[in-house]
Structure 1
Amino acid sequence: MDEHPADTPMGAFVGRLLRFETTDGEEAEAQAWLREKFEEFGLDVYEWTADAETLASHTSFPDDPDVIDVTDRPSVAGVAEFGDPDAGPTLVLNGHTDVVPADTENWSSDPYEPVWSDGKRGAELTARGAADMKSGLSACVFAARDLLERDENGELDGANGRVVVEAVVGEEEGGIGAAAAALDNPYPFDRDAAIVAEPTELRCITATEGTVMKRLRVRGRAAHAATRWKGEDVLPHFERIRQAFFELETERGESVSHPLYEEYPIPWPVVVGIVRAGSWSSSVAGTLTAEWRFGVAPGETVEEVEAQYEERLAEVVAESDWLSEHPPSFERFTIQFEPAEIDADEPVVESLRAAMAETGHDDTDPTGATYGADSRHYVAAGIPTVVYGPGTVEQAHFPDETIPWGEVETAKETYVEAATRFLHTAGRKSE
């Protein structure tokens, strides 16, 4: 009888990692455990903590360092060296350990107690972080272990270089650990390329979308429900703004084209995720706050797209006497994601695609993703980075978050093959 995935070394590793509730800056215990495991696996360990002042100067993060939580949030990495490490390239396999909070009322089980089940495609694993992205990170860890074993068995003859497995913190908050690593190299060697193990359904992602986050505040005038006509209901004003923004979304979908995004019905999506209006059920709603996410195409800047939506808001305001006299505020908040893209002929992409063909992928063509990832920080630092990992983003941040275990195993084998090819064939950037 075949061994159940939960009883395999990688399955047990993932199961333990999923039990850490790594939300809201609570990664430290998991990071300490990972550091111990990296040392146990024979990897050279590095650790760094982001500096809030430095991040505050980065366009992704708020300008106020006091609102960037970096305390007791170390990122850790394990490094495997092969042949003459300095004579070959360095490949980073990156994953994040933080997860978004779980609304336990919508879960069928404890989000932090992994549940194994049999699905249509074999064994499946359910827990917060199963898809986003502790399984992908674990596949990176065990790829490095397999590479070390191959090296010991003489199967990597001629390979020179390093493979770095990074477990970073704060990805859901803009990429705290990855941004720090990109801005200030924590290693005594250069990095030549990276693979970020976000859930891509085992597809090769060479472009990620950016986002700009804006908070809209609209003022009306409250009044008693019995004299509603004395007030100024804020909701019709908001509806006109909402309609104008979605009309611009449609226009941008038709005018801003990119070959890697042709499959998406809405390539640069707009979402109003939070709306709060009024203060009392028996009063006319006199205030409204709405928080928006606007998609930014590769090749655009956050500032360019932000300006387009600000201009469209100004047009709505100009058409309304009330809004002209009581102009809404429309300010950035939280984190911003810059778009990122690399060429398909980068050595890391060629190595990954060849590995995907070797491990049985039907489709190895590069494509784009409508979400942002830590890859953007490395691309901005001049490190070509591709996104590839098990699971689907449709399960990310979702109740009963689930991943097919077969995809995790396939991803691990693909990382091994991609790294092997990269170590043998990729030249150093400095050459």
Structure 2
Amino acid sequence: MTQDYSKLPHPERVAEVLQELVGIPSINPGFEDGVGEREVASYVKRFLSRLGLQAVDQPVEADRSNVFGLLEGRDRKSRILLEAHMDTVQIQGMTVPPFAGEIRDGRLYGRGACDTKASLAAMLVAMETLVANELVPSLSVALAAVVDEEIGYKGVSALADFAAGEAARYELAIVGEPTSLNIIAAHKGCVRFHIDVQGTAGHSSNPGLADNAIERAFQVVEVLQKLERETYPALAHPLTGPPTHCISMIRGGAAPNTVPDLCRLTLDRRTVPGEEPLEAYRGIKSKLLEAAAGIPGLRLDVREPFLTDYALDTPADSPCVERLLERIQMQRKGAGILGAPYGSDASKLARAGIPSIVFGPGSIAQAHTEDEWVDLEEVTQAARILVDFLMNVERE
């Protein structure tokens, strides 16, 4: 017999914490005007310490640290992990004040409001609610606020290494991202690399005497399109759909009056559960080199990947996931278990042996937008769901 604890978190407190978080700039230092996550990390550490919880810095690189806090449950050897990233993307082009946390018509606006300070606020308020009401969950609850999700996943990689070395068993990681309060149990991975197409430079007044690398790149695009049509549909996953690729950047040419001798394509290949990113890369490389051997004059170099990320595929019928879905549906009728085309921190935790899902308030359609916002009622619902779940989940 379970109890309903979902009415405990107060909407006013949720809005207050989220407004404070949005008010602290934490642009990833890899972006223009990036200041890093240090001040948000300090806020989280003070918040947890004020609750009387153990809160420690986990250094990731110079001036960038995760924050890890722990609320002991009745079972000190089994834990639920709540994880959310602290960094945001850039603020250029925003049409709302990025750090004001302005509230209008039930929405809170600002950079990171949706992605993903709303999730972090819900997690912090859930922890605060448990402590303030002297509630002791069955399982211990760890909270990790991590750096560098928006660019390199350095924060969650350090967290995964740390968790793998602990004696405690993690029953489930709930990774905060905007999912409209659905559970994302499967999502795609990624491999990104450059394709350099070679030509021969010459004067643009007589292009026939040269070999235009940009025009040669059209031939590469045709090979990639054929590969997509003929091989991807058969690899479709029931929750994520088929793999995809996108030529996300193209660079070529030295001057307006010179036939270009180099054209670089950047390919973003999204993998599905069951695919290994490097295997997907090697498959594309093999097809391109094979095609180039059969096209007179086509010369290319497929560079080594500069980014790889893994897909997520957590069983939807695991007891913890089923219990979380049960508590969500008490708050939000119609919520379910879905797949996603994007990646998250969850796959890195799963690779470390921690069953992981993605869950949080807000819509991915609002992430990184010029007027980023989140519905405050949804953030409150997220906090209530977390409290209710943490008080009702048991060890598998």
TM-score in same-fold range (> 0.5) = yes
Correspondence for 1:201:
180
Structure 1 residue identity aligned to 2:183: C
Name the CA distance, whole Å, in 2 between partners of 1:363 and 1:8. 24
Match of 1:311 among 286, 297, 300: 286
1:252·1:268 contact (CA, 8 Å) conserved in 2?
no
Structure 2 residue identity aligned to 1:201: S
Correspondence for 1:337:
309
How far has the Cα of 1:286 moved from its partner? 2.1
2:188·2:341 contact (CA, 8 Å) conserved in 1?
yes
Q: Secondary structure at the match of 2:150?
A: helix
Structure 2 residue identity aligned to 1:44: Q
Name the CA distance, whole Å, in 2 between partners of 1:145 and 1:126. 24
Kindly provide the CA deviation profile for residues 28-60 of structure 1, in whole angstroms up to 9, marking residues without a partner as x: 12211221111123322122123xxxxxxxxxx
How far has the Cα of 1:225 moved from its partner? 2.1
TM-score using structure 1 length: 0.83
Match of 2:28 among 3, 24, 33: 24
Match of 1:160 among 138, 144, 152: 138
Name the CA distance, whole Å, in 1 between partners of 2:230 and 2:182. 28
Mapping 1:207-218, distance limit 5 Å:
207-218=186-197
Correspondence for 1:182:
160
Q: Secondary structure at the match of 2:173?
A: strand
Correspondence for 2:70:
79
Structure 2 residue identity aligned to 1:9: R
Structure 1 residue identity aligned to 2:378: E
Higher helix share: 1
Correspondence for 1:64:
none
Name the CA distance, whole Å, in 1 between partners of 2:152 and 2:320. 24
Distance 1:132 1:252, change over 3 A: farther
Structure 2 residue identity aligned to 1:260: L
Correspondence for 2:102:
115
1:244·1:313 contact (CA, 8 Å) conserved in 2?
yes
Kindly provide the CA deviation profile for residues 234-255 of structure 1, in whole angstroms up to 9, marking residues without a partner as x: 1222122123223322334421
How far has the Cα of 1:223 moved from its partner? 2.1
Establish whether residue 96 from structure 1 lines up as the match of residue 85 from structure 2. Answer: yes
Kindly provide the CA deviation profile for residues 372-426 of structure 1, in whole angstroms up to 9, marking residues without a partner as x: 111112111111111111112222233222222222111111111221221xx22
Kindly provide the CA deviation profile for residues 81-120 of structure 1, in whole angstroms up to 9, marking residues without a partner as x: 23x3426x31011100011223x2x3213323333222xx
2:185·2:358 contact (CA, 8 Å) conserved in 1?
yes
Distance 1:404 1:249, change over 3 A: farther
Establish whether residue 191 from structure 1 lines up as the match of residue 170 from structure 2. Answer: yes
Name the CA distance, whole Å, in 2 between partners of 1:355 and 1:9. 21
2:200·2:259 contact (CA, 8 Å) conserved in 1?
yes
How far has the Cα of 1:15 moved from its partner? 1.7
Establish whether residue 396 from structure 1 lines up as the match of residue 367 from structure 2. Answer: yes
1:351·1:419 contact (CA, 8 Å) conserved in 2?
no
Q: Secondary structure at the match of 1:426?
A: coil
Name the CA distance, whole Å, in 1 between partners of 2:113 and 2:162. 30
Kindly provide the CA deviation profile for residues 318-358 of structure 1, in whole angstroms up to 9, marking residues without a partner as x: 232222xx43233211x211112111122220121111121
Name the CA distance, whole Å, in 1 between partners of 2:186 and 2:250. 30
Which consecutive unaligned segments of at least 5 residues does structure 2 have?
A: 1-9, 30-35
Aligned residues: 380
Q: Secondary structure at the match of 1:308?
A: helix
Correspondence for 1:34:
44
TM-score using structure 2 length: 0.90
Distance 1:201 1:240, change over 3 A: farther
Mapping 1:36-75, distance limit 5 Å:
36-50=46-60, 70-75=61-66
1:131·1:392 contact (CA, 8 Å) conserved in 2?
yes
2:94·2:369 contact (CA, 8 Å) conserved in 1?
no
Match of 2:247 among 259, 272, 291: 272
Q: Percent identity?
A: 26
1:213·1:293 contact (CA, 8 Å) conserved in 2?
yes
How far has the Cα of 1:187 moved from its partner? 5.8
Distance 1:246 1:40, change over 3 A: farther
Distance 1:28 1:376, change over 3 A: same
Structure 1 residue identity aligned to 2:305: R
Correspondence for 2:5:
none
Which consecutive unaligned segments of at least 5 residues does structure 1 have?
A: 1-5, 51-69
Q: Secondary structure at the match of 2:256?
A: coil
Kindly provide the CA deviation profile for residues 298-321 of structure 1, in whole angstroms up to 9, marking residues without a partner as x: 011112211221122113312322
2:187·2:313 contact (CA, 8 Å) conserved in 1?
yes
Q: Secondary structure at the match of 2:24?
A: coil
1:214·1:331 contact (CA, 8 Å) conserved in 2?
yes
Structure 1 residue identity aligned to 2:57: E
Correspondence for 2:124:
141
Establish whether residue 288 from structure 1 lines up as the match of residue 263 from structure 2. Answer: yes
How far has the Cα of 1:208 moved from its partner? 1.6
1:46·1:187 contact (CA, 8 Å) conserved in 2?
no
Match of 1:414 among 382, 385, 388: 385
Name the CA distance, whole Å, in 1 between partners of 2:11 and 2:81. 28
Kindly provide the CA deviation profile for residues 267-300 of structure 1, in whole angstroms up to 9, marking residues without a partner as x: 3221122211111122222221222110111011
Structure 2 residue identity aligned to 1:367: L
Establish whether residue 328 from structure 1 lines up as the match of residue 301 from structure 2. Answer: yes
Name the CA distance, whole Å, in 2 between partners of 1:111 and 1:212. 31
Structure 2 residue identity aligned to 1:22: S
1:94·1:165 contact (CA, 8 Å) conserved in 2?
yes
Distance 1:111 1:244, change over 3 A: farther
How far has the Cα of 1:191 moved from its partner? 2.4
- RMSD (CA atoms): 2.1
